[in-house]
Amino acid sequence: MISSSDFRLPKSRLRAGALILAATSYIVVGVAHFTHEDFFLSIMPPYLPAPLWLVWISGIFEVLGGLGLLYLPSRLFASRGLVVLLVAVYPANIHMALNAEEFASEGYEPWTLYARLPFQFVFIAWALWVGRPDTPSSAEQKD
* DSSP string covering 2-23: --GGGGPPPSSHHHHHHHHHHH
For 96-124, how does the pLDDT look when each residue is reduced to its tens digit (9 = 90+)?
999 988 888 888 888 999 999 999 999 99
- Note whether residue 1 is domain-resident: no
Q: What is the mean pLDDT of residues 12-22?
A: 96
- Note whether residue 115 is domain-resident: yes
Q: Which residues contact 30 (CB under 8 A, 6 or more apart)?
A: 58, 59, 60, 61, 62, 63, 64, 65, 66
Tell me the residue range of the domain where 18 lies: 13-131
User: Whole-number mean pLDDT of the chain?
Assistant: 92
Length of the chain: 143
> How many domains does the chain fold into?
1
- Note whether residue 143 is domain-resident: no
- Note whether residue 83 is domain-resident: yes
- Note whether residue 7 is domain-resident: no
